[in-house]
Amino acid sequence: MDPLTHSLAALTISRALLRRPAAQSTLTLLLAANVSDLDYLYVLGGPAAFFQHHHGWTHSIAGAILLATAAALAVRWVVRKKKPGTALPLRPLLVAAGLGAASHLLLDWTTPAGVQPFWPFRSTQFRLDWFSADFWLLILLLLGLALPALLGLVAEEIGARRDDRSRLRAARVTLAACLLMAGARATLHGQAVDELEARHYQGRTPLRSAALPTPLNPFRWSGIVETPATYELAEVRLLGAQRAAVPSTTIYKPGSSPALEVALATPTARAYLTRARFPQVEILPAAGEGWEIRMQDLASAERWRGMRQFSARIELDRQLSVVSESLSYGQDNR
């Protein structure tokens, strides 16, 4: 989920759930709701480090507790330095930080990026695929925060008494509406997956599938289906008479070969395949009578279609010895 949505959700939670949301509590909650995305700094270590650690330990329960505690301590330390004697006790700041960290994990859990809640014991990625960078969720949060302020200004202009409880009510209504939206997205996602798995693809039976959300239309989903021999890309439509899973592209898996076995045994391929959901593998002749094996995650390519994607590349010579291997951030080659 994008930082703006995380921040708006944090402000809404502050108004709705904190008894008397002082500026320090709100700041702590806002900071804790975004600090998990510090894992973007792994890009400084190169593509391999970013690919392996993005949405990793910082998006786990243990990591969230650690980072939320650090956020609370940082806010209290800054306030004590700037305005001695005005810092809140640590306990309410920890409560606010916990709410912010929990909101980040919950929001990212609903996206295709997912979270690793049980790190360091398990590195399994958990994801619901309900939302991505969702326009309607963003609008809902913006309205929930802006409307009470706008109505308050109108009330002041006509001389009416300002009612601060309207902010509390609006925030709680907004949270309830967000939960209803999540429930609706869960239902639509389930229907999209059912559409993908209810058909055969040129006689091939689905083994597993994923329905990925689109940012604007909740009734259209990008589908990926794995069969024994292929990956099938499809657009799922859930509205009106056009309701169907419409296949668009068939991608054939490579057959077993000595070159593929050698490539899959490399550290680069093993690292890539632990994070890739639907890995497309291509075996291409390389200069010098060797082989080039390329890997790309179709789930990532469908989610960010036309944009640069992480891919793995292994070069073999004609004796099937590894010449080079790398994780890179290149163009979507589909």
Question: Whole-angstrom Cα distance, residue 288 to residue 232?
Answer: 33
Rg (CA), the chain: 24
What's the whole-number average pLDDT of the chain?
A: 88
82 — pLDDT class (breaks 50, 70, 90): confident
State residue 332's pLDDT score: 46
Give the H/E segment covering residue 327.
Answer: strand 322-330
Long-range contacts of 285-290 (CB under 8 A, 24+ apart): 286/315, 286/316, 288/317, 288/318, 289/317, 289/318, 290/315, 290/316, 290/317, 290/318, 290/323
pLDDT tens for residues 105-152? 999 999 999 999 999 999 899 999 999 878 999 999 999 988 877 655
State residue 157's pLDDT score: 47
Query: Per-residue DSSP letters for 279-318?
Result: EEEEEEEETTTEEEEEEEEHHHHHHTTTS-EEEEEEEE-T
State residue 315's pLDDT score: 94
State residue 334's pLDDT score: 47
pLDDT at 306 over 90: no
Question: Whole-angstrom Cα distance, residue 83 to residue 217?
Answer: 48
CA–chain centroid gap for 310, Å, is 15
Residue 132 CA: distances (Å) to CA of 16, 67, 102, 137, 188: 24, 24, 18, 10, 14
pLDDT tens for residues 195-219? 999 988 988 999 999 999 988 899 9
Q: At what angle do helices 90-109 and 23-32 cross, to 10 degrees?
A: 40
pLDDT at 305 over 90: no
18 — pLDDT class (breaks 50, 70, 90): confident
Long-range contacts of 60-64 (CB under 8 A, 24+ apart): 60/115, 60/116, 60/117, 60/118, 60/119, 60/120, 61/105, 61/117, 61/118, 62/119, 62/120, 63/36, 63/119, 64/36, 64/101, 64/102, 64/104, 64/105
How much of the chain, in percent, has pLDDT values that exceed 70? 90
Residue with tokens 């944090």: 10
State residue 21's pLDDT score: 67
Query: Per-residue DSSP letters for 206-249?
Result: PSEEEEEE-SS-TTEEEEEEE-SSEEEEEEEE-SGGG-EEEEEE
Cβ atoms of residues 14 and 21 within 8 Å? yes
Helix, strand, coil percentages for the chain (3-state, nearest 5): 50, 20, 30
State residue 307's pLDDT score: 58
**Token output for 83:** 């305005």
Kindly compute the dihedral angle of the four CA atoms of residues 167, 168, 173, 177, in this order, to the nearest 10 degrees: 80
- pLDDT (mean) for 216-243: 90
pLDDT tens for residues 245-290? 787 789 999 999 999 999 999 999 998 998 899 999 999 888 778 8
Cβ atoms of residues 297 and 271 within 8 Å? no
